[in-house]
Structure 1
C-alpha cells in the first residue's frame, strides 16, 4: 500500500535536484529524439485546448524542450507559462515557443508561501514531471498544483505505471531517479490531493533508444474539486 505522507511538508524535507537538472541539461533535445511519438501527451493537451477559452493561462510543469505541449497550447491561443529544473531545457523551450514565458524553477518554489509566485492558472499540465520526485513529495506537489489552479481548474497528468520510489535508472547516457505508482494507487493519491479524475487513457510505449525499456504510460484528465 502507498503512504501519502499527509504529515510531511516541504520545511521538513531536504531537496537536492542537482543531479536531475544536470542530467536533463546533458540530454537536451535528444529527449525528443528518444521519444518521437507522443500521441498520449498530444491527446491530453487537446483535452485542455478543447476545454479552455482562448487566452486562458496554462502552466506547463516540467516543460522540457517545449515540444509538443507548450507549442500545442500556444498554437491554440492559450497563454503558456513553463517551468523546468534544467536551464538547458528552459532555453530550448524559449526557442521553440518564443511567445511563451519560461522559468528555471522547482515545483516546491511555487508552494503556498514559497519563494516564487507566478499567479493562478486555468489549467496545469504535468507530463512525466512528477515521476521525477520521491513518493514522499508527490502529494505535496499535487497540493501545490491545486493551489495554483483557479476553482474548477483543469489538470492533465501523466505518469509511468510502476511500483517504484526514487529508483535510479539509466536514461539516455545519464542516471536519473524516478517514482511511480500502480494505477489504483495513483488514483488514490490524485483524488486525496483534491482532484476529480474525469478521463483516463494509457499507452504501452517503446522509446526509440536501447537503454530506455518499454513502459506503460498513464494519462489522467482531472478537475480541481471545490
Structure 2
C-alpha cells in the first residue's frame, strides 16, 4: 500500500484547482509589499498550483519557492511558474530547499495537519527564517476541529494562544493577527534580529 503524503489532496487536486478562490490574496499581497524587501525570496508552504497566492507575489516581483505534498499540484505550479522552484514534499518533513528565507507563507495548510505535525512545521519554519524575516500563516483563532469539505479528513486549529506560545518557544514573536474578506484568520510572526 502506498502512503498518501498529501493527506488526501492528490485525489482532489483537480477539484481544488477548479474552486480555489481569490479570497485572502489581497491580504497576503499587502503583507508582502509592506513587510518584505522588494524582490525577496518567499517560501510558500502548501503552495498548491500557485494560483492565486504565488501568482500575486510573482506578479509583484517576488521570487516564490513552492512546497506541496501533492504531485499534481506541484506539476501545476511548475507549469504556471516555470522559472520558480517547486518541490513535492510533505511540509512538516520538507528540506525547504536547504536554504533560508526572508519571508514564508502558509495559507490554508497548517490546520490540515495533526497537532504534532503543526508544531513540527512551526519549528521548521523558525529554522529557515532569516533574522528579521516574517512568517504569515492562516488558521482559525479559536481552538477547534472540523472535517475538510474536499478531503473529508480531520482539520484542527490549535488556537491563537497555543500558536503564540509555540512560536515564542521556537524564537519567533507573534506580531499581528488579522482577518481577510472571507473571515479567515492569519497570524504574522517575526524572527527578531
Aligned partners of 1:128 and 1:160 also within 8 Å = no
Question: Computing the radius of gyration over CA atoms, which structure comes out larger, 1 or 2?
Answer: 1
- Aligned-pair RMSD on alpha carbons? 2.5
Q: 2:31: which partner in 1?
A: 47
Match of 1:9?
none
Scaled by the length of structure 2, what TM-score is found? 0.85
Who is 2:173 aligned against? 196
Count of residues in Structure 1 that have an aligned counterpart in Structure 2? 192
TM normalised by structure 1 equals 0.74
Please list every run of 5 or more consecutive structure 1 residues that lacks an aligned counterpart in the other structure.
Answer: 1-16, 206-215
1:21 matched to 2:6? The reply is yes
Unaligned stretches of 5+ residues in structure 2 = none
Contact conserved, 1:83 with 1:104, CA < 8 A, in 2?
yes
Structure-2 separation of matches of 1:18 and 1:92: 21
Which region of structure 1 is more displaced relative to structure 2, 75-84 or 191-200? Answer: 191-200
Q: Deviations over 1:116-175 (max 9, x none)?
A: 64311111101121112211222221111011111111101111345346x6x2532x33
CA offsets per residue over residues 94-137 of structure 1, 9 Å max, x none? 12222211110123334xxxx66431111110112111221122
1:75 and 1:59 mapped to 2: Cα distance? 15
The structural deviation recorded for 1:92 is 1.1
Q: Please point out which of 45, 48, 51 is paired with 1:64.
A: 48
User: Relative to 1, partners in 2 of residues 1:42 and 1:31: Cα closer, same or farther, differing over 3 Å?
Assistant: farther
